[in-house]
Amino acid sequence: MSDALLPSADDAYSSPDAQGFYGPYGGTFVPETVMPALAELSEAYESAMQDAAFRERLSYLLAEYVGRPSPLYKAERLAEAVGLGAVYLTREDLNHTGAHKINNSLGQCMLAQRMGKRRVIAETGAGQHGVATATAAALLGLECAVFMGVEDIRRQSLNVYKMKLLGAEVVPVDEGGGTLADATTAALRHWVERVEDTFYVIGSTVGPHPYPAIVRGFQCVIGEETLVQLEVKNIDHVDAVIACVGGGSNAIGMFYPFLRHLPAGSRPLLIGAEAAGLGVETDKHGAALTKGTPGVMHGFYSYLLQDDAGNPLEAYSISAGLDYPGVGPEHGSLKDSGLVRYEAVTDADALEAFVLLTRTEGIIPAIESSHALALLPRLAAELGPDAVLVLNVSGRGDKDMDIVREAGVE
């Protein structure tokens, strides 16, 4: 595609303004003591992105260490099983550490090193961001602490062991439900106390500005590579692109380049799959975009599961990576604008899709990714048997074996 034909991101939709808002969502709702650190981070990120040496080093590590570019695999038996013309899978599960999280963790740890910070912290739910951050910290010689809810520590014991083996301290969080939201709260609180010597590696497109834009910047390699590979494979038409959405990093990494680089008339349908848990009609789900209302949490304003007083509600999903009561502000803007469609997927449907991909293609996906896979039969009915779809397999399912077994899947 000719660059002359490509509109800018701002032509596609509102990229963050100077205050970090995507339309009405985003912003910086933090104590005044943290504002200088966020300004320093914003300046460091902008400087790094303009530094050819930084970009070259990141590209080298993404290729030689992470294993990019991730393949775009044509899943023929899967497409036949769900009644579609073609399904192409972006294989983020093949990355070093087993998910898309390493793209962002590596970039942010390099930023920490550039800023002279010798210590990084992170929050994690499913453990993939924690493992990715511990991995990047080990590579770069940084001290690392990962905050993780006690319930997620129980569910993701393998990843806990990996983080410790990599030299990271795993900090248990027993507040609230002991899941991702609680780990994020604890990590933010700790960062406020040690902002002078500690870099907070946020794992998704959440948090105060400039974090949502930084995470998007490091994750958009997913969609950029996908567009290149579609062109190389001479695939000139795609009907839909699908990704799962918790906080929203793998999805925004996939969607942003399609919105930025393709004119409106040639863009595929973009669809995010969020966690319906036991059903959106119950109180056991994580579907912030489907059932939430705008509110403030963790330093930003976006769709949120909250009570009448504005207090976040506990989210639920069989997937430890999707049980977050909010969603990144850019996704809120994309929902309101209609540029991306969001649908909720139950635990049961996600597990069924997990088994389907495993048995048709020999690829064991993360339960997070299985939420996106569960939309394939719905889209086959909507778009017809000749439709061509691209789906982001954001991670592999090694970490989820105990969960799947406990759910009675055989």
Domains by residue range for the chain, with CATH: 23-64+101-215 (3.40.50.1100), 68-98+219-406 (3.40.50.1100)
Give residue 49's region: left, alpha or beta (phi > 0; psi -120 to 50): alpha
Model confidence over 200-234: pLDDT tens digits?
999 999 999 999 999 999 999 999 999 999 999 99
Neighbouring residues of 410: CB distance < 8 A, sequence distance ≥ 6: none
Confidence of residue 14 (pLDDT cuts 50, 70, 90): low
Q: Average pLDDT, stretch 259-287? A: 95
Q: Could you confirm whether 42 is annotated as catalytic?
A: no
φ, ψ of residue 121 to 5 degrees: the values are -125, 160
Asked if pLDDT for residue 7 goes beyond 80, the answer is no
Question: Is there a catalytic annotation at residue 123?
Answer: yes
Q: Which residue has the higher pLDDT, 13 or 202?
A: 202
Q: Strands 86-91 and 198-201: what pairing?
A: unpaired
195 close to 156: Cβ distance less than 8 angstroms: no
5: pLDDT confidence band, cut at 50, 70 and 90?
very low
- Cα 159 to Cα 129, 205, 398: the distances in Å are 10, 22, 9
- The per-residue pLDDT for 9 is 47
Position with higher pLDDT, 53 vs 11? 53
Give dist(CA 161, CA 164) in Å, integer: 5
Q: Which of 42, 70, 101, 369 is catalytic?
A: 101
Other Cβ atoms less than 10 A from the Cβ of 50: the count is 9
| 317 in catalytic set | no
Higher pLDDT, 149 or 9: 149
Average pLDDT over residues 68-72: 97
- pLDDT band with cut points at 50, 70 and 90 for residue 263: confident
The span from the CA of 364 to the CA of 404, in Å, is 11
Residue of 123, 151, 225, 274 with catalytic role: 123
Q: Tens of pLDDT along 83-120?
A: 999 999 999 999 999 999 999 999 999 999 999 999 99
Residues 6+ apart with CB under 8 A from 277: 284, 285, 286, 287, 315, 316, 317, 318, 323, 346, 347
Using DSSP's 3-state secondary structure scheme, residue 146 falls into: strand
